[in-house]
Structure 1
Amino acid sequence: MNLLSAENISKNYADRWLFRDLNFGLQQGQRVALVGINGTGKTTLLRILAGIEPGDTGSVSVRKDTRVAFLGQQPVFDENLTVEETIFASQNATLAAIRDYEHVVNDPNHSPNELQRVLELMDAHNAWDYDSQVKQILGRLGILGELLARKVSNLSGGQRKRVALARVLIEEPDVLILDEPTNHLDLDTIEWLENRLASPTLTLLMVTHDRYFLDKVANEIVELDQGRVHRYQGNYSYFVEKKAEREQMETVEVEKARNLLRKELEWMRRQPQARGTKQKARIDAFYETQEKAKTKIGGPQLELSVKTTRQGGKIIEVEHLHKQFGDHVVLNDFSYVFKKKDRIGLIGPNGAGKSTLLNMLTGRLAPDSGTVDAGQTTVFGYYTQTELEFDDSQRVIDIVKEVAEVVEMANGDVVTASQFLQHFQFPPAQQYTLVSKLSGGEKRRLQLLRVLIKNPNFLILDEPTNDLDIITLNILEDFLLNFQGCLLIVSHDRYFMDALVEHVFVLEPGGVMHNFPGNYTDYREWQKEHNTAEYQQQAAKTAKAAAGVAPAATPVAPAPTPAAAPKRKASFAEKKEYETLEADMEKLETEKQQLIEKLSSGTGTPQELADWAARLKKIDSELDEKGERWLELAEIV
């Protein structure tokens, strides 16, 4: 069943056609990922399909009673609303009932009549289970407490993206259209989101560069290339294989067309000028061949390995680094001696202080205590999350030539700025385009180039994959694999990290840093098989508390190291706690149902109604806590 379809849509931007007479359909249960290089019009196509932006030609139709929700890269809100008002600003009656219920219950001065009204609404819309789902979404996206009451105008870019994501997930639309949904999310949240979106009943259209996310979520890939769409029935791995086959076939066809065009050109020139004297069919065939021969068959095949500045024995020595803002500690007693050809990934939740550490390493921010001692030969190349700065008169090639006219390769060859641009998907014609006319992803790609050609021997990349297309990511990975200096990467792209890093720094809230040997997937596998020392101590304390034994003092936890030992077995206390939790949760569910029935009957006094509602809220909280603990123990037991 087709939920959304587009016929003959076209869009012209900055004096060029992004696509012409394009047809597209989305059926129920399809989870489609739209891929293509930056500037091909992926975001524009999503906006047209979502009804946000009109096409120059064609039409988009949505099946009757089908609800479509759109998440853009730069969400637009009513800046005067609070986060809570923004999230619940929906025509969904069930969501409105939950909004009113939460508002009344959290108001200590609510009237009995108001409470009775919202309870009846919750019951009428069968909204109790939905309320639990809403709380789970908000909790996983970190939208809790005072943040709900904050004005949207006071949010950071990452917070705005998470609020917008929460809103579209809570609305539970029939069709979900997402533009780079993983940007500004930490790794744990991305993994939670991909599990949620991998539902077989969900209808989804998305643009994302996260290849693990694509593999897990998408069941079809649509490539937008030179204004045409190519469909691949499968996930990202299948797409890579079939795209290579398609490009090989197209290369052969284009070469044949070019050879034929040479012969046909000679025939056209020999014939009389009057078109009527020539064979019309052959003339038409000539123009078709000419069009085919103009097809681009891939960019330049150039292996880039930039020559790095000579690196001495001393790279960077960090001793007892400490930094905090007010009472918030972002780094606590961190020491490390960087070695030649270190390839390190830095991971941690949003707000943990990853960018703060990078700024201290490069001297942009002073630590509260401790030292950062860089060697005299260490030359930094630092790619930050700040946007590219330029003036309106600058062209693409001007931005690169500001840094270097030519770039020396590791083998001694010299590459011009223009050749370097071509390798990163800026063809000669585009190199003289004004920077202001580039897409967001193209500007980020250009900003990255400026860092790479500075001849650094210590590259620090802070979220380099944001807004870059998959083709550029593959090119960047190849470039960095050949890079001979030190590499420190902050990224939420797990595929990118796995391809490039050899060990990871894990920065936890509170400023504790762990050094784990291995890539990101190695670390996650280790996490699944073994609990950290902190978690084991907490589990022991919980078990002892349940048995009535006072917990022992907590020793300092060691840094995690990968272990080859088999998965540990549950202790007697943990088995006992596991059984107790099951019984407790069953009792709470029974009590919850009884309270809902009491509240729905409306027979209680105003005070009783208020008490029942407060108890119901507490039960929901207890069920969430006990449920999480039960899941943790279930993996061991």
Structure 2
Amino acid sequence: MAHLIGGEDLRVDFPAKTVLDGVTVGVADGDRVGIVGRNGDGKSTLMKVLMQRMAPHDGRVTQRNALRVGMLAQEDDLPGGGTVQHAIVGDADEHTWLGDARIRDVLDGLTGDLDLAADVTSLSGGQRRRVALAKLLVGDWDVIALDEPTNHLDVEGISWLAQHLDRRWQKNQGALLLVTHDRWFLDAVCTRMWEVHDGIVDPFEGGYAAYVLQRVERQRQAAVAEEKRQNIMRKELAWLRRGAPARTSKPKFRIDAANQLIENEPPVRDAVQLTQLATARLGKDVVDLLDAGVVYDERDVLNDVTWRIAPGERTGILGANGAGKSTLLGLISGAVEPTSGRVKRGKTVRIAYLDQRLKELDEVRELRVREVLARQKSSYVSGDKELSPSQLLERLGFRTSELSTPVKDLSGGQKRRLQLLLVLLNEPNVLILDEPSNDLDTDMLAAMEDLLDSWPGTLLVVSHDRYLLERVTDQQYAVLDGRFRHLPGGVDQYLELRAAQAASGSSPGNKQAQTTATAEPELSGSERRSAEKELSAIERKLANLQVKVKATHAEMAAHDQGDFEGLGILNGKLRDLQEQNDALEERWLELSELLS
């Protein structure tokens, strides 16, 4: 693999902490690197240093001669004026960029709902972000660095971006650096992970699922004393391993190792117990929407929606921006009155709405966090444990030193966590979450999900974060063309419906074609024996590959870290082993499903 970028002995100091302390990393052709870590630990800083947008205080960065690098930073770098078209393609003639398949694909994927002749100054923050991403992607780059590219993208946009990055370069060409809290996106795009923490960078092979496995395994082998954090990650691994078929059909981690780690791990939620608790708190009646419709300015936003929400139900809601999701939530909470049909609410229903405006913090913004906690009830029951407000906040990632911080001075992620705490302490029995993943890093998302697993009430979630949606809910629905429909196939089915809608130029509505179940072929005796024999051979090959992978890791650790060419060769060897491993695992799954 050709070496592209190297960072040697990098050090970056901020007034309050050292975020990079003697870090050495390298990027080679074919690398797709996801960078994870807690907020403030240096993910964006590392990316800026490697892309030479920021100079380190010590160490050096080298780039291959004539290397073309492009970066989407979190800061807006669009021009102050001019049209959307000019911001993206500059002064290029229209026939030139219209004749470029990549540019057409980018425009369709990111700006299909925008007027290219509109002035940039008229765009919203989310629209400006999409235009900035389009401006980057229409260019030719050897290395692309993306800092939170999924912000302001819906589920379809995120899926499009993953596909675009997957086919942008040929195999073993080009490189990608990615900072994002979207774990589905990390798993779909990345082949390597870097975890930034405590001034260092730990490398991991594979995407997010592989990172979770390796991180838990490293903690187990080293007997790390972070039992609470480890339990959350093991729980998340158990969900990943037992999760949706779309995830397990293309595994990026060792099947037998994963099974061994989670063999004593219970399911992430005790659905029966939670339903019993929710029924005890709510009764049988929660909220019923009965042929409910809403008309705004002579436009049918929602039409004939019937939904009987059950106690303990955990539902994710999908829909394009402007499809009517917020209106639907307003009907449930009482903020919106139906113009047709009716809404019936149970007598004991207490609804909490966790929205993006952080309004729960308005009246306490001048208080310190500990003063806010002192005004709350003394305990909160999570699962079978009783926690104080401060213990609950610690579980959500607050340090003791941060309790003296005024609420107004908290970061965006800290405010989101405090908002969730205040909502839970009020003990609602119906909880509505509107884009709850904003401003949270992957560790904090896992902690929040762990807390919600033991919450005994009805949970409704609207989110573009596919991973979170699948993780905390048991079923998904979609708002399509003003109608509300169940998605037995989950997010994948929603994307198929939206693609069909776009292709036909009309809405799927309630007349979508039903998926036809295909009968599984019956195996003869000889076919079964042959499959079992192949399965056994694959397991032996996988075990041998793991020995080679560990040996290569040891060789890389002992290698001169300044020899980027040599490390690149070893990294290529490791990638080849990983590709062999992935192919064998995929075949292992096919045979397992066939034999079962």
Indicate whether the TM-score tops 0.5. Answer: yes
Q: Which residue is equivalent to 1:138? A: 107
Match of 1:454 among 404, 426, 451: 426
Give, in whole Å, the separation in 2 of the partners of 1:160 and 1:380: 34
Give, in whole Å, the separation in 2 of the partners of 1:45 and 1:83: 31
Match of 2:129 among 151, 161, 168: 161
Q: Which residue is equivalent to 2:142? A: 174
1:274-298 superposed Cα distances (whole Å, 9 cap, x missing partner): xxxxxxxxxxxxxxxxxxxxxx776
Q: Which residue is equivalent to 1:38? A: 39
Q: Which residue is equivalent to 2:256? A: none
Kept in 1: contact 2:383–2:454 (CA 8 A):
no
How many residues align structurally?
A: 472
Kept in 2: contact 1:232–1:239 (CA 8 A):
yes
1:548-582 superposed Cα distances (whole Å, 9 cap, x missing partner): xxxxxx99844776653579xxxxxxxxxxxxxxx
Kept in 2: contact 1:198–1:218 (CA 8 A):
no
Written as runs of structure 1 = structure 2, the 5 A alignment for 1:175-190 is 175-190=143-158
Q: Which residue is equivalent to 1:520? A: 491
Give the superposition deviation at 1:498: 2.3
C-alpha change, 1:301 and 1:424, in structure 2 (3 Å) is farther
Written as runs of structure 1 = structure 2, the 5 A alignment for 1:419-568 is 419-435=391-407, 438-508=410-480, 510-517=481-488, 519-521=490-492, 523=493, 557-558=510-511, 563-564=516-517
Instruction: Give the secondary-structure state (helix, strand or coil) at the position aligned to 1:356.
Output: helix
Give, in whole Å, the separation in 2 of the partners of 1:22 and 1:297: 27
Q: Which residue is equivalent to 2:323? A: 352
Written as runs of structure 1 = structure 2, the 5 A alignment for 1:59-70 is 59-70=60-71
Is 1:342–2:342 an aligned residue pair?
A: no
Give the superposition deviation at 1:420: 0.7
1:476-509 superposed Cα distances (whole Å, 9 cap, x missing partner): 222222222111111222222223323222112x
Give, in whole Å, the separation in 2 of the partners of 1:479 and 1:495: 16
Kept in 1: contact 2:485–2:510 (CA 8 A):
no
Instruction: Give the secondary-structure state (helix, strand or coil) at the position aligned to 1:372.
Output: strand
Give, in whole Å, the separation in 1 of the partners of 2:231 and 2:29: 40
Give, in whole Å, the separation in 2 of the partners of 1:55 and 1:392: 36
Q: Which residue is equivalent to 2:380? A: 407
Give, in whole Å, the separation in 1 of the partners of 2:495 and 2:323: 22
Give, in whole Å, the separation in 2 of the partners of 1:11 and 1:405: 42
Kept in 1: contact 2:107–2:134 (CA 8 A):
yes
Is 1:236–2:237 an aligned residue pair?
A: no
Q: Quick one: which amino acid aligns to residue 62 of structure 1?
A: Q
Kept in 2: contact 1:180–1:467 (CA 8 A):
no
Give the superposition deviation at 1:230: 0.4
Q: Which residue is equivalent to 1:88? A: 89
Q: What are structure 2's unaligned runs of at least 5 residues? A: 236-267, 521-596
Kept in 1: contact 2:294–2:303 (CA 8 A):
yes
Kept in 2: contact 1:516–1:562 (CA 8 A):
no
Q: What are structure 1's unaligned runs of at least 5 residues? A: 90-95, 103-121, 255-295, 542-553, 568-637
Q: Which residue is equivalent to 2:283? A: 312
Kept in 2: contact 1:5–1:25 (CA 8 A):
yes
Q: Quick one: which amino acid aligns to residue 340 of structure 1?
A: P
C-alpha change, 1:456 and 1:77, in structure 2 (3 Å) is same
Give the superposition deviation at 1:326: 3.3
Give, in whole Å, the separation in 2 of the partners of 1:53 and 1:341: 49
After TM superposition, the structure 1 stretch with the greater mean CA deviation from structure 2, 313-322 or 61-70, is 61-70
Written as runs of structure 1 = structure 2, the 5 A alignment for 1:37-56 is 37-56=38-57
Q: Which residue is equivalent to 2:333? A: 362
Give the superposition deviation at 1:300: 9.1
Instruction: Give the secondary-structure state (helix, strand or coil) at the position aligned to 1:171.
Output: coil
TM-score (ref. length: structure 2): 0.70
Give, in whole Å, the separation in 1 of the partners of 2:125 and 2:58: 33
Give the superposition deviation at 1:439: 4.1
Give, in whole Å, the separation in 1 of the partners of 2:215 and 2:48: 26
Give, in whole Å, the separation in 2 of the partners of 1:78 and 1:153: 9
Q: Quick one: which amino acid aligns to residue 248 of structure 1?
A: R
Kept in 1: contact 2:155–2:464 (CA 8 A):
yes
Give the superposition deviation at 1:128: 6.5
TM-score (ref. length: structure 1): 0.66
1:326-384 superposed Cα distances (whole Å, 9 cap, x missing partner): 35543222121211111111111222121232233222334444433322211122121
Q: Which residue is equivalent to 2:94? A: 101
Kept in 2: contact 1:9–1:21 (CA 8 A):
yes
1:290-318 superposed Cα distances (whole Å, 9 cap, x missing partner): xxxxxx77659699999879212221121
User: What's the % identity of the aligned pairs?
Assistant: 33
Instruction: Give the secondary-structure state (helix, strand or coil) at the position aligned to 1:24.
Output: strand
Instruction: Give the secondary-structure state (helix, strand or coil) at the position aligned to 1:467.
Output: coil
1:426-484 superposed Cα distances (whole Å, 9 cap, x missing partner): 22233334455544333333333333333111111112223322222222222222222
What is the root-mean-square deviation of aligned Cα atoms in Å? Answer: 3.6
Give the superposition deviation at 1:422: 1.5
Kept in 2: contact 1:362–1:380 (CA 8 A):
yes
C-alpha change, 1:333 and 1:173, in structure 2 (3 Å) is same
Structure label with greater radius of gyration: 1
